[in-house]
Copies of this chain bind each other. A is one copy, B any other.
Amino acid sequence: MAAVEGDDSATTAGSTLGYALLSLLTRGPATGYQLTQQVKAPLGHFWTARHSQIYPELARLAAAGWVDSVEQAGPGPRAKKTYAVTAAGLAALRAWLVIPPTAQPRSEITLKAYAATSADPAAMAALYADLADRSTRVLAEYQQDAERMRAAGQDEPAHPRFGNYAVLMMGIESQRAVHRWACWLAACLRTGRAVAYGEPTAD
């Protein structure tokens, strides 16, 4: 244990963000800046991080031997670093992937619904009507992305970017769920009476 290098990779328990970055790097080498762009979509629909969190995390991953970096002259005062996942990093990612996750989701809009009766019904109805609208637009956008991906064969599990498609599918399901729920809740608050769930309302 004392003499062998790369020993860290066995004992270091990475953070969730670390594994997220590792997942991004399996799609090819990237700089911290590029990773910051890539966590926006489609990963960003279910996991986000700012650059201020990404740069230190990349340093930790490098220290653990899970990623390698090569430096080039950058546009700013510092060198530009391109990171790539190592064999140890890939092994760590693989091990983490098959552990069933336990974390509960957090949704502020659902939390607000919990206190819906404390607020002005009209204002709350407007809030959820707006949410329903927004989810319709987002859903249309996701559907287009999905169509593009299918045309590129990304819906095949063997495709290296199949994960992007899988995440997008969850995004579509989520937006549909939110849309149905928001429509129902808005109808309840607008009419002030119990509305059967799933029954279409005149919209």
A residues contacting B by CB (< 8 A) are 16, 19-20, 22-23, 26, 42-48, 90, 93-94, 96-98, 100-101, 103-121, 123-124, 127, 130-131, 155-160, 162-164, 166-167, 169-170, 172-174, 176-178, 180-181, 184-185, 188-189, 191-194, 197
Contacts and interface: CB of A to CB of B under 8 A. Distances in A.
A106 B47 contact: yes
Given A170-B107, A181-B173, A97 B117 contact: no
B107 A119 contact: no
Given A22-B115, A166-B188, A170-B181, 13 more contacts: A20-B114, A23-B118, A26-B117, A45-B110, A47-B107, A47-B110, A48-B104, A93-B119, A101-B108, A103-B108, A105-B106, A110-B167, A116-B163
A166 B194 contact: no
